[in-house]
Amino acid sequence: MTLVDALQWLGTLDADAVLEALHEVIDPELGVNIVDLGLIYHVAVDDGVVAIRMTLTTPGCPLGGYIEDEINGCLRRFPSVRAVTVDLVWQPPWQPAVMTDAAKQQLGWRG
């Protein structure tokens, strides 16, 4: 039983659990999940409504819709999730520095 399955089974959800779950949403071009990429700025859970504030690496990227759908699909598996809102923001701009070490390692950064 994976962590997500366990959480789903428990029916409980908080922001950390959402973040954990969002590790399943992969940027298909990079093969790296959106959390480790540092795209997720803020997660709030209030009475089953998940509000996510996030960015993309560039505003010209057309993947916003795709990633929103993936997030929806991922989170709606939780029985306790009643709604998901995704707010795409451009401030502050995304920078490579916000990537986690795991993402950097996956992308071949050294040192």
Partner 1 sequence: MLVGLWGGLARLGYSLPADTSTADDHGILMSLGFLGTLIAVERATALRRSWAWLAPVAAAVGSIWLAVGAPAVVGKSLLLLGGIGLTAAYIALDRVQRSTHNALMGVGAVGWIVAAALWLANRDIALLVPWLAVFLVITIVAERLELSRLLQVSQQARLVLVAIMAVFVAGAIISTFDDGAGLRVCGAALIGLTSWLFLCDLARRTVRQRGVTRFMAVGLLAGYGWLGVGGALWLGYGFHVDDAMYDAQLHAVFLGFVMSMVFAHAPVIAPSVLRRPFQYRPVLYIPLALLHLSLTVRLVGGDALTSDIAWRAGGITNVIALLAFVAGTATSLLIVRRPAAASSEKAVADSGRWHARLSTPAVGGVAVGVVLLAVAVAFANSGRTSSASDATPTAGSAAAGSTVGVAISLREMRIDPSTVTAKPGTHLILRVTNNGTMRHDLRLSNGAHTALLNPGQTTVLDAGVITEALNGWCTVPGHRAAGMTMKVVLGAESTSPSSAPEATAMGDMAGMGGAADSTASASDAVSSNLAAAPPAGWKPIDASLPPDGASSVHDVIWHLKDVTMSVAPGVTQTMWTFDGTVPGPVLHGRVGDTFNVTLVNDTDMTHNIDFHAEEGPSAAVMTPIAPGAMHTYHFVAHHAGAWLYHCGTEPMLMHMGNGMYGALIVEPPDLQPVAKQFVLVGSEVFFGAQGGVGDYSKMLADKPDAVVFNGYPFAYHHAPLRARAGDRIRVWVVDAGPTRSLAFHVVGALFDTVYLDGAYTLRPGDAAGGGAQTIPVDPGDGGFVELRLTQAGAYPFLTHAMADAVIGAAGTIDVSK
Positions in the binding site for partner 1 (CB under 8 A) = 5, 8-9, 26, 28-32, 37, 57-67, 69, 72-73, 76-77, 79, 81-83, 90, 93, 95-96, 99, 104, 107-110
Q: Please, what is the minimum distance in Å from the beta carbon of residue 53 to partner 1?
A: 16
Q: Please, what is the minimum distance in Å from the beta carbon of residue 35 to partner 1?
A: 15
User: Which residues are bridge partners to 50 per DSSP?
Assistant: 45, 84
Residue placing its CB nearer to partner 1 in the complex, 52 or 81: 81
DSSP 13-45: --HHHHHHHHTT-EETTTTEETTTTT-EEEEEE
Residue placing its CB nearer to partner 1 in the complex, 15 or 26: 26
Q: Please, what is the minimum distance in Å from the beta carbon of residue 38 to partner 1?
A: 10
Q: How far apart are CA 30 and CA 50, in angstroms?
A: 25
Residue placing its CB nearer to partner 1 in the complex, 43 or 81: 81
Residue placing its CB nearer to partner 1 in the complex, 19 or 90: 90
Answer for the pair 23, 36: CB distance below 8 angstroms, yes or no.
yes
Non-local CB neighbours of 100 within 8 Å, separated by 6+ positions:
35, 36, 38
